[in-house]
Structure 1
């Protein structure tokens, strides 16, 4: 694996880590804020769906990184 390929995979892995961390923090904050402000429960489902979408994206990208590493 060339150095540029390895750096690209490292960038993607860092991006996945940031997305997971930010999603978790935002998800918890949205749940807390929704409860504090007394928002309608349908907003909680909206936040849940957004978090699930981000986690699925992170899973797909992580799987793609793993496959690229396995090939080399």
Structure 2
């Protein structure tokens, strides 16, 4: 495997990890601390949940792409 592919795979893996971590932290902050602190109604929590779900779907698609990159590089 060439070093360019290895670097691309590592970069994509770091990107995925960062997306998952930031999505989770922002969702927790909005749901548990910021939303109740400013008195947002409960229906806004559903918006936060959908935004977090979108972030996790994006990460899932990228995980599949990463898996495919690794499969192609092993051939």
Task: Give the drift of 1:36.
Answer: 2.8
Question: Structure 1 residues 39-48 or 50-59, which shifts more?
Answer: 39-48
The aligned residue for residue 26 of structure 1 is 26
For residues 12 and 54 of structure 1, the distance between their equivalents in structure 2, rounded to whole angstroms, comes to 15
The aligned residue for residue 61 of structure 1 is 62
Ranges in structure 2 where 5+ consecutive residues have no aligned partner: none
How well do the aligned residues superpose, as a CA RMSD in angstroms? 1.1
Q: TM-score, normalised by structure 2?
A: 0.87
For residues 29 and 67 of structure 2, the distance between their equivalents in structure 1, rounded to whole angstroms, comes to 31
* Aligned residue runs from structure 1 range 8-47, under 5 A: 8-32=8-32, 33-47=34-48
Question: Structure 1 residues 37-46 or 59-68, which shifts more?
Answer: 37-46
Structure 1's consecutive aligned runs of 4 or more residues displaced over 4 angstroms after TM superposition are: none
Question: Structure 1 residues 5-14 or 38-47, which shifts more?
Answer: 38-47
For residues 11 and 70 of structure 2, the distance between their equivalents in structure 1, rounded to whole angstroms, comes to 14
In the comparison of the two structures, how many residue pairs are matched?
A: 72
Structure scoring higher RCO (CA < 8 A, sep ≥ 6) equals: 2
Ranges in structure 1 where 5+ consecutive residues have no aligned partner: none
